[in-house]
Structure 1
Amino acid sequence: MLQLNSNEIAQILPHRYPFALVDRIVDGEAGVFAKGIKCVSVGEPMFCGHFPTQHVMPGVLIIEAMAQVGAVAILSVPENKGKIAFFGGIKNARFRHKVIPGDVLEMTCTLTKQRGPVGIGEAKATVNGKVVASAELTFAIGNEE
């Protein structure tokens, strides 16, 4: 069972502030799936411009956060240690509700296929049990070089 705090996530993912978008991994199985959370705060830089009078987390950052959860799942297997998961594609992205400061974004990414260095994951984000976003994400595993 995967359970990681922000410091442990930073040992797997190269993302740092302001692009470290997962606060904690609360469940998962290496190479299979991961479930993570992000506590959305008004103090984040994205809210300076999106939108100054009505704060809404940008959909592209929700997708990125879901991808980071999936990257933890795929990079947690021993053969991928020290590698990076790059975006290979995004299909069927849907945004159903706004994500605003004070929300706890719960994200799950289940890896459905993998062939060589390429993997596909089904990702979903919820707030208070309601689906706010979903997408099929394609990952390409590469080296940090």
Structure 2
Amino acid sequence: MPAKDPILDPNSLDFSQQVAGIEEIRRLIPQRGAIEQLTAVVYECLETNTVAGYKDITEDEFWVPGHMPGMPLMPGVIMCEAAAQLASYFTQRYDLLGCEMVGFGGLDEVRFRGTVVPGDRLVIANQLIQARKGRMIRSRFECFVKGGLVCEGQLIGIPIPVEALRAAGL
């Protein structure tokens, strides 16, 4: 991912104007409790297929006591999960995949470039780069703290076979 081609400038976002708060996010994606990794969505643009949101990191995060004791660092996989939840929100909001639920299908070109600690606001920008209805979506993401890039990569979303899982009693 070329640094010269950012998805958006995180300093341009207006965090006082939410596009979706936690209840709207919950209406569209299934994650709950400790695995919820979005606080709000603050920007959407269908012309550029971009969306931005954030997660306010607190001392109460499930990973704080163990990663790392005395020096809590947000695990990179949780940063990627936050980006995946934002992509899933956008995909479901605009029915880009044509399914009831989007699952994590993969990650590519992920790089971690900084740390995230309790008290930080993790700002996530996501841009859809490919959508094949009923098959998969691919998007690129960037995560920022205080305007600095801390994580970037690409992710793949796939349809979850909800009906088959229900039929199996899950």
Cα separation, 2, equivalents of 1:81 and 1:34: 19
Stretches of structure 1 lacking an aligned partner (at least 5 in a row): none
> 2:137 corresponds to which residue?
119
Q: Shift of the alpha carbon at 1:100?
A: 0.4
> 1:15 corresponds to which residue?
31
Which of the residues 40, 61, 86 maps onto 1:44? 61
> 2:120 corresponds to which residue?
103
Query: 1:54-93 residue pairs with structure 2 within 5 A?
Result: 54-78=71-95, 83-93=100-110
Which has the higher Rg, Structure 1 or Structure 2?
Answer: 2
> 2:41 corresponds to which residue?
25
Q: Shift of the alpha carbon at 1:29?
A: 3.4
Q: Which moved more, 1:91-100 or 1:135-144?
A: 135-144
Residue 141 of structure 1 aligns with an amino acid whose one-letter code is P
- Computed over aligned residues only, the root mean square deviation of the Cα atoms, in angstroms, reads 1.9
Residues 14, 81 of structure 1: alpha-carbon distance in 2 compared, 3 angstrom cutoff: farther
1:130 is aligned to 2:113: no
Paired residues of 1:12 and 1:82 also in contact (CA < 8 A): no
**Number of equivalences:** 144
Q: Which moved more, 1:28-37 or 1:50-59?
A: 28-37
Residues 72, 63 of structure 1: alpha-carbon distance in 2 compared, 3 angstrom cutoff: same
Does the residue aligned with 1:114 lie in a helix, a strand or coil?
strand
Paired residues of 2:137 and 2:157 also in contact (CA < 8 A): yes
Cα separation, 1, equivalents of 2:149 and 2:114: 7
> 2:19 corresponds to which residue?
3
Residue 144 of structure 1 aligns with an amino acid whose one-letter code is V
State, as a whole percentage, how many aligned pairs show the same letter.
26
Paired residues of 1:120 and 1:139 also in contact (CA < 8 A): yes
Residues 96, 79 of structure 1: alpha-carbon distance in 2 compared, 3 angstrom cutoff: closer
Residue 121 of structure 1 aligns with an amino acid whose one-letter code is S
> 2:6 corresponds to which residue?
none
Show CA shifts across 1:45-93 (max 9, x none): 1111111210100000000001101111111114767711111110011
